[in-house]
């Protein structure tokens, strides 16, 4: 029995052994490296910075519980942001159906100052596109993702990505006309 106690005493305890890696530190580094790009992606999908930041923050809060260093990829996190943005848009649609229609929606002064008029027209036209077309254009032309990655993020085939992008571009060009 004394020999067993000595062997236990010789083993390092969890408190005294330094961790081999710090998953939290890796998640913080991942957040620092990719947060801004993910917020920009979400802004293009949901239309405002505050909601986009909330979407990205929610994604990282959920990621913290299941973070697996070396396994969790940027493509996976992009898909999570895309799905979070879809959820926000669904909630907005339900709220709009239940609430009275507001005819004159005005951007904040900060948003209007930051976005030039031509960019604003493009963003407004982009916002009028159907969800799937808007997502395809943002993933293709903002993130410069290839068809395979867009298809993976959206959960569709590559051929669907190509046809959706073509239809979205045609509709956007028709709507913008000479203003671009």
Contact 135, 82 (CB under 8 A): yes
First to last CA, the chain: 84
Place of tokens 């590559």: 158
On whether the CB atoms of residues 82 and 44 are closer than 8 A, the answer is no
In a domain, 3, yes or no: no
Confidence of residue 29 (pLDDT cuts 50, 70, 90): confident
Residue that wins the pLDDT comparison between 65 and 156 = 156
Instruction: Give domain status of residue 8, yes or no.
Output: no
Indicate the residue among 70, 102, 134 that finishes a domain: 102
Global pTM? 0.54
**pLDDT tens profile 89-124:** 888 887 777 665 444 455 566 666 555 666 777 788
Do 170 and 158 have their domain in common? yes
Show the domain range for 96: 22-102
Q: Are residues 140 and 155 in the same domain?
A: yes
H or E, element range at 133: helix 131-137
Does 28 share its domain with 97?
yes
> Which of 23-37, 38-52, 98-112, 164-178 has the highest average model confidence (pLDDT)?
38-52
Q: Would you state the structure tokens that stand for residue 59, as one six-digit string?
A: 């994604």
């Amino acid at each position: 029995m004394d020999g067993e106690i000595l062997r236990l005493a010789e083993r390092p305890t969890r408190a005294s052994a330094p961790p081999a890696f710090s998953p939290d530190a890796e998640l913080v580094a991942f957040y620092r490296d990719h947060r801004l790009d993910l917020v920009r992606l979400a802004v293009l999908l949901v239309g405002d910075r505050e909601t986009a930041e909330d979407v990205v923050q929610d994604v990282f809060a959920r990621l913290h519980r299941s973070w697996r260093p070396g396994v969790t990829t940027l493509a996976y996190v992009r898909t999570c942001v895309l799905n979070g943005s879809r959820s926000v848009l669904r909630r907005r649609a339900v709220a709009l159906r239940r609430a009275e229609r507001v005819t004159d929606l005005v951007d904040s002064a900060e948003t209007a100052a930051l976005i030039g008029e031509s960019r604003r027209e493009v963003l407004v036209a982009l916002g009028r596109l159907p969800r799937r077309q808007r997502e395809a254009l943002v993933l293709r032309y903002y993130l410069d993702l290839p068809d395979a990655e867009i298809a993976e993020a959206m959960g569709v085939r590559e051929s669907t990505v190509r046809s959706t992008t073509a239809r979205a571009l045609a509709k956007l060009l028709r709507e913008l006309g000479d203003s671009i």
